[in-house]
Amino acid sequence: MMTTPGIDTVIFDIGRVLVDFDPARYVEQEVPDVELQRRIYPIMFKNPDWEADDLGIYSEEEILGRFIRKAPDLEEEIRKLYDRSGRTITLFPYAVPWVRGLKDAGFRVYALSNYSRHLYERTVEKMKFLPLLDGVVFSWQCHSIKPDGEIYRCLFRQYQINPSRAVFLDDNLPNIEKARELGMYAIHFTGFEEAKTQLDSLLGI
């Protein structure tokens, strides 16, 4: 990848880029019964209701109600898993040094993430890179989720970002395609070493 002059801004996705988000492992750890695991996991984590939570327009009880209606007999288990869902998140050891290195090199660094308010409140202390950032937009704050263009524009407006001078990293290919459509450089994140190599080459560092 050729060095691209003019880039002064790096924008990270958070889940599966700066933190590990592994709800399947979480359910396995919290629910001993394998059959219950098979029932609960898709009800909570593999359906549009989880994404609806990221929009920030529903209360916790409304989201819980959506989950529980799919399996009323599992209400107790669903409530426990939802309350403890911060355990789905683990900070990647490279996250803080990566962000700090970019800041030390003179780049502005932001994050743009599909993230619910309830999960944020349960995981904010784990995201040690947040104080290093120049800014962050979570989907629950602007009521839009990637790859909808509005969440990107929300970040641009809030922090006066010129997309033609920014590079975006995300593990989700549709989010990458939207970033490019909006004028950003973009790197599809499939692993730290490869992404860092591509980013360093693009930035000339």
- 197: pLDDT strictly greater than 80: yes
User: 111-131, pLDDT tens digit by residue?
Assistant: 999 999 999 999 999 999 999
- 1: pLDDT strictly greater than 60: no
**pLDDT number for residue 4:** 64
Tell me phi and psi for residue 115, to 5 degrees.
-160, 130
- 6: pLDDT strictly greater than 60: yes
- 3: pLDDT strictly greater than 70: no
User: 15-49, pLDDT tens digit by residue?
Assistant: 999 999 999 999 999 999 999 999 999 999 998 99
Long-range contacts of 45-51 (CB under 8 A, 24+ apart): 51/114, 51/145
Return the bridge partners of 136, or none: 111
- 175: pLDDT strictly greater than 80: yes
**pLDDT number for residue 5:** 65
Q: Give the burial class of 71: count Cβ atoms within 10 A of its Cβ; 0-12 exposed, 13-18 middle, 19 or more buried.
A: middle
29-55 burial: b if 16+ Cβ within 10 Å, else e: ebbeeeeeeebbbebbbeeebbebbbb
Show Cβ contacts of residue 36 under 8 Å, excluding neighbours closer than 6 positions: 74, 77
If phi over 0 gives left and psi between -120 and 50 gives alpha, with beta otherwise, what is residue 144? beta
Fold of 9-18+92-203: Rossmann fold (3.40.50)
Percent of the chain at pLDDT exceeding 70: 98
Amino acid at 176: I
**pLDDT number for residue 137:** 98
Amino acid at 32: P
**pLDDT number for residue 98:** 98
**pLDDT number for residue 59:** 95
C-alpha 112/C-alpha 200 separation (Å) is 20
Q: Say how many residues make up the chain.
A: 205
- 2: pLDDT strictly greater than 60: no
Q: Model confidence at 134, in pLDDT bands (50, 70, 90)?
A: very high
